[in-house]
Amino acid sequence: MKKIAIVIAVVLFLLMFLTARVQAQEVDVRAAVTRAALDYMEGAHSGDADRVARAVHPELHKVTVETIPATEKSYLRKAGASRLVQLVAADAVPLAEEKRNIKVNILDELQSLAVVRVTSTVFWDYLQLAEIDGEWKIINVLWTRNPQERQAKDMSGEADAIQAAALNYIEGAYSGNAERMERALHPELHKVIPVRMPQTGKTRLDVMGAGMLIEGTRAKMGLLSEEKRKIEVKILDSAEELAAVKVLSARYYDFLQMAKVEGQWKIINVLWVMNPDSQPPSKRR
């Protein structure tokens, strides 16, 4: 009995140690992600280009949807890391500290990816981040103006349409339905996966556009029977005709940034990794 009691005590101690370690790691991740989001937004409003450069990946893809009043047609206005950093260095969006009202909300994180909503008095930004070679970097941004100084757009009736677009994306891929895939995507889709190079130990970003994804779907490259797909769609946040969505499935973990463009929900940015359960043990993180 004494030996059994000792074994139980040891097991309980190990469980407590492992639980504490996991919790500490989660706190560290959230702190690092929050710091990157603050560097991005506080850096922008304070004119601190070094903070912004530290927060963003060199291949940053930052997008907002704008409409031409004369035609009522929409387009994507884009900024990369270099343009953003130089605008900040030029003090393009100055705002006194007491007026910034910056808030960071981590919407989700898994498999070294994170989704964040960061807002200020001026901006409303959805961020997608990845841990790249030990540092959290902002990869994709979908943003708009903060609606606080005007009437915010009512998003309560948009959940079904957002979910339908996400399902067109993932079910279209697994069923080889290129029409559903095309319906879900903005023509200027930017889809990114971080890939670690075994030869160097460094991470690169592999980018896919709408054309490649649609034609790959048409070629039936990702077929998977319905009973094996294990699809879960969760709307993490939505505001001002933008949405952050998580799609889990048998093969992939996808974070989507979506926008309502000319009355239809379209996927603008995707940050994704392979589902570790679909990989051999040697390739799992």
Host H or E run for residue 281: none
Higher-confidence residue of 39 and 20: namely 39
> Is the pLDDT at 285 greater than 60, yes or no?
no
Chain segment 44-72, per-residue pLDDT in tens = 999 999 999 999 999 999 999 999 999 99
Which pairs from 178-184 meet CB under 8 Å and 24+ separation?
178/214, 178/215, 178/217, 178/218, 181/213, 181/214, 181/217, 182/210, 182/214, 184/266, 184/267
End-to-end Cα, the chain, rounded Å: 40
Map tokens 């009202």 to a residue: 101
Host H or E run for residue 167: helix 159-175
> Is the pLDDT at 240 greater than 90, yes or no?
yes
Contacts of 240 (CB under 8 A, 6+ apart): 124, 144, 145, 147, 152, 153, 155
In order of 5, 141, 270, the CA distances from 186 in angstroms are 61, 15, 11
pLDDT value of residue 190: 98
Chain segment 143-202, per-residue pLDDT in tens = 999 987 677 788 889 999 999 999 999 999 999 999 999 999 999 999 999 999 999 999
> Is the pLDDT at 10 greater than 80, yes or no?
no
CA 91 to chain centre: 27
Map tokens 């808030």 to a residue: 103
pLDDT value of residue 148: 76
Q: Output the six-digit token pair for 262.
A: 């000319």
Chain segment 86-130, per-residue pLDDT in tens = 999 999 999 999 999 999 999 999 999 999 999 999 999 999 999
Q: Is 34 exposed, middle or buried (0-12, 13-18, 19+ CB in 10 A)?
A: middle
Strand partners of residue 22: none
> Is the pLDDT at 18 greater than 50, yes or no?
no
DSSP summary character for residue 152: P
pLDDT value of residue 129: 98
Mind giving me the DSSP string for 24-40? HHHHHHHHHHHHHHHHH
- Burial profile 212-250: b = 16 or more Cβ within 10 angstroms, e = fewer: ebbebbeeeebebeeeebebebebbbbbbbbbbbbbebe
pLDDT value of residue 155: 85
Q: Distance (Å, rounded) from C-alpha 202 to C-alpha 225? A: 35
Map tokens 């343009």 to a residue: 83
Domains parsed from the chain with CATH numbers = 2-149 (3.10.450.50), 159-283 (3.10.450.50)
Task: State the average pLDDT over residues 218-243.
Answer: 97
Contacts of 30 (CB under 8 A, 6+ apart): 106, 109
> Is the pLDDT at 22 greater than 50, yes or no?
no
Residue at 189: amino acid letter: L
pLDDT value of residue 15: 52
Contacts of 255 (CB under 8 A, 6+ apart): 108, 113, 115, 128, 244, 245, 246, 247, 270, 271, 272
Task: State the average pLDDT over residues 221-239.
Answer: 97
